Every structure is written in structure tokens, then in C-alpha cells.
Amino acid sequence: MKKELINKIEAAITELKQGHLIIIADSTDREAEGDMMGLAEYVTPATVNQMVNKARGLLCVPMDRAFATRLGLHKMVTDDTDAFGTAFTISTDAKTTTTGISAFDRADTIKQLAKSDSHADQFYHPGHIFPLVARDNGVLERTGHTEAAVDLAKIAHTTPVAYICEILKKDGTMARRKDLKAFAEGSQMMMITVDEIIAYRQIKDELTVLPAVKLPTKYGDFRLEAFTEDENQEPTLLISKGELTGTEPLLLRVHSECLTGDVFKSQRCDCGAQLEQSLQKVAQAGRGAVLYLRQEGRGIGLLNKLKAYQLQEHGYDTVEANTKLGFAADQRDYALAARILRKKGIAQVRLLTNNPDKIKQLTALGITVTERIPLEIPATIYDRKYLATKKNKFHHLLQEVN
């Protein structure tokens, strides 16, 4: 049963990432309604047109709170009396639109809202799109379509913005569960429920936490905790000092495992030196943490990393080597890091990193990065090309490498 549920939700994610729409039905003891839903990153005029013609309800754009805050999308009213607490913001249109109401204009506004670099002055108010703000803990906090849509966007590892529209019957009344099933079959559209998303998250969010132990090191005394999702996998480690929660953002390094650099002090990369410097900074601050993820070789594993090293010795750079082996240039994923941080009550961090993608992923997963703290290690004759590739192809924020 658990496997069937996981397969169903992940099949829905595949549909969404192919740009298709799905149907999300909520509980029969709530509104008992269904919404057509798509991922904002993949919106097109055709899918918007499909929504307004087939679903017939109000087209809205659920989003993560951080996105709404960045775009200055404050609450539509200060005294919210909606029975279900739907968090409408002021309506909006992108300034690149004309009337704002056509399927093309609405798709444009939705796409602009989903961009991580959009800013408030790129939008008009009021407009024809109605943003909604999801609760921070998604469907585990509120069982609405807003949270369900944003949770699916996060599970899909896209920006946490979606678009939804309630489904009405041809006579103008609301489509209920039986109607929705027939509608889904007739439209050849996948249907899932909010309850299934809740169950999926409860399965995937399960983390076994081993009790903390003392970890005295040459840099200072730390606590060491282990988090596991699967007893057959190596645990993710949290090395910390001081109180982790509080009003001030936590000093944090999210570090991907590098056996050759971390343990054997290889100079082919800067990983080991970055880890050492991070532990030193946490010890000096008296409060902070290093989250040690088991993502060797940018997620391709130790054996494949060594194969990539062989290719690098024949002239390939690290990106070219990984892609020649059939992998993405960087396969790392920070969803588990975000889950661990949330489990520890950490929502805001000062991140020790040079990697903008790490900031982007953590932000999309609901972790607020209040400050980036550079972690630049001087180049050596052995890693200069590697660091140059980081800078030029991964766009790492490095100053000293050409």
C-alpha cells in the first residue's frame, strides 16, 4: 500500500514536470472540491486556456511565503474572515502584459511570479491573477489546495509556485468527488487527493534520529547527531555547537561528502579545506552547525567520481567528465537537508557557501538564507582548473580564480 501511494504521487509529479495538468481533490469533510493544477515553471497559454475553459473556476497562483514576501504580495484584506483561511494576496499582472486577462497574458504573469529573480516593481496591482500564500509546513499544517499545490512543487524540486483553478460542472455547480472522477477520466487527467499528499509527506518526511553524542575535535567540542531515512544507507550527520534554534539565523555549512578531500586531504579539490574552515568558524562563533550530506562526487558516488578523475587526467574538466559518464553535471539535492533543518526547528540560516544553486534550492525548499558567507580556499597547482570550472560553469562566487 505504501509503495502504491509513493508510485502514484511520483507519477503525478512526472505528469506535472512534463507540463501537464492534474486534478487535486480535497477531503469530503472539507470543501469536497477539486482543483486543476499545474507547476508555474511549466505554464503555457494552452494550459491556462485549458483551465479556464474546462475547470471554469477562479485561476489562482499558490506560492511559498518567501516568494510572496519578496514580491511584496501582502494580504488582500487585514481582517480575513474566509471560512477556510485561504490566504489571498493583492491581485496582480506582470508589467509585460497588455490587458492581463488573455490566456497568453495570464501565463506570462504566472511565469514571472515563478522566477526566483523577479521583483515587486515588475508587477501591477490590482490585476487578473490571484496569488495565494501557503502555510510553511504545507498540508501537514493546512489541508487546502494552496498547500497541496505548493507541496507538489517542492516535491518536484521546482520553484514553489503553482497555478490552480476550481472545477465547476457545466451547470455552474461545484464538481464533487464522483463528478471529479468522471471529469478526470473524460479529460485523461490524473487525479490525486490532498489526503494522499499528506500520507506521502508523512512517509517521506519520516526521519530516524539517533541521540546526540559528544564529538571533541581539534577545532573544539561539538555535538554529533545522525539522521536516517533507510537503515541500509549511510546516515546524514549534523555536527553542531550551541543552541540551534533562536531569533538569530544559524551559522550553517551544508557540506557534501568528499572522502578524498575530507579524509585523505586531496588537493584535487577544496572540499577538505572548506570542511575544516567551516568547523573552525562554527567553533569560533560558539553557535552553528555543519550538515554533512552523503552525496559523494556531486551525487554520483565514490566509484563514479574516481572514473571521472580518470577522464580529468585525459583533459576533461569536472563537468565534461560527469556528463560523459552519463550523469548531470551536478546531481546533488538539498531536500533532505531542508527536512533535517525543519525537524530541528531551523528556518533561517547564514550559509557558508560559494554555490548559488545551493542557496536557490534551500530557498525553494522553505529555508531562508539571510546571508551568504564566502568560503573561498586559495587555489593550488592541483585544483586551479577545478576551481575555474566551478566559477565559469557552475557560477560559483569565487574571486581569486581565473
Residue 177 designated active-site: no
Can you give the pLDDT at residue 135? 87
DSSP string spanning 171-182?
Answer: TSSBP-HHHHHH
Express each pLDDT in 358-397 by its tens digit. 998 898 778 899 999 999 999 999 989 999 889 888 889 8
34 in a known ligand binding site: no
User: Is 70 among the catalytic positions?
Assistant: no
Q: Which residue type is seen at 121? A: D
Residue 165 known to bind ligand: no
Beta bridge partners of 351: 252, 372
Q: Which residue has the higher pLDDT, 307 or 400?
A: 307
Residue 366 DSSP class? T
d(CA 358, CA 56): 39
| CATH number among 3.30.465.10, 3.40.50.2300, 1.20.1250.20, 3.90.870.10, domain 1-204 | 3.90.870.10
pTM for the whole thing?
A: 0.56
- Report whether pLDDT(81) > 80: no
pLDDT of 166: 95
- Helix or strand (DSSP H, E) at 293: strand 288-293
Strand partners, 269: none
Q: How far apart, in whole angstroms, are the C-alpha atoms of residue 30 and residue 21?
A: 23
Does the annotation place 296 within a ligand binding site? yes
Q: Which long-range contacts (CB under 8 A, 24 or more apart) does 28-34 make?
A: 28/177, 30/84, 30/143, 30/144, 31/84, 32/174, 32/176, 32/177, 33/145, 33/166, 33/167, 33/174, 33/175, 33/176, 34/166, 34/167, 34/175, 34/177, 34/179, 34/180, 34/183, 34/191
The answer to whether the annotation marks 269 as part of a ligand binding site is yes
Query: What is the b/e burial string over 381-394, where b = at least 16 CB atoms within 10 angstroms of the residue's CB?
Result: eebeebbbbbbeeb
Distance, C-alpha 35 to centroid of its chain? 22
Of 190, 203, 257, the C-alpha closest to 18 is 190
Three cell numbers, residue 2: 505504501
Mean pLDDT of 116-145: 90
Give me the catalytic one of 332, 339, 372, 383. Answer: 332
pLDDT digits (tens, 9 = 90+) for 240-278: 999 998 889 999 999 999 999 999 999 999 999 999 999
Q: Is 254 annotated as a binding residue?
A: yes
Q: What are phi and psi of 211, to 5 degrees?
A: -55, 145
Four-residue CA torsion sign, 140, 146, 148, 152: negative
Bigger pLDDT: 281 vs 31: 281
pLDDT in tens, 147-203: 999 999 999 989 999 999 999 988 989 888 888 888 888 889 999 999 999 888 877
- Residue 1, all three cell numbers: 500500500
The answer to whether 57 and 165 have CB atoms below 8 angstroms apart is yes
pLDDT (0 to 100) of residue 32? 72
**Cell numbers at 266, concatenated:** 586531496
61-83 exposure pattern, b = at least 16 Cβ within 10 A, e = fewer: bbbbbbbbebbebeebeeeeeee
- Is residue 27's pLDDT more than 80? no
Write down the domain spans for the chain: 1-204, 207-295+332-394
- Give the Cα separation of 88 and 62 in Å (integer): 9
Q: For residue 5, what pLDDT is reported?
A: 86
Q: How far apart are CA 367 and CA 103, in angstroms?
A: 33
Q: Is the pLDDT of residue 211 over 70?
A: yes
Quote the CA–CA distance of 81 and 88 in Å, as a whole number: 11
The response to whether 60 counts as a known ligand-binding position is no
Q: Cβ distance 267 to 379 under 8 Å?
A: no
Q: How many residues does the chain have?
A: 402
**What's the CATH superfamily of 207-295+332-394?**
GTP cyclohydrolase II (3.40.50.10990)
Sequence-ordered alpha helix ranges (H) in 143-270 = 145-155, 177-187, 194-204
Residues 6+ apart with CB under 8 A from 4: none
* Averaged pLDDT, 91-99: 95
Ligand-binding site membership of 297 (annotated): yes
pLDDT band at 30 (very low <50, low <70, confident <90, very high): low
- 353 in a labelled binding site: yes
Catalytic residue among 35, 93, 105, 330: 330
Give pLDDT tens digits for 32-66: 789 999 999 999 999 999 999 999 999 999 999 88
Does residue 28 have a pLDDT over 80? no
pLDDT tens digits for 307-349? Answer: 999 999 999 999 999 888 888 788 888 878 988 998 898 999 9
Residue 82 predicted with pLDDT over 80: no
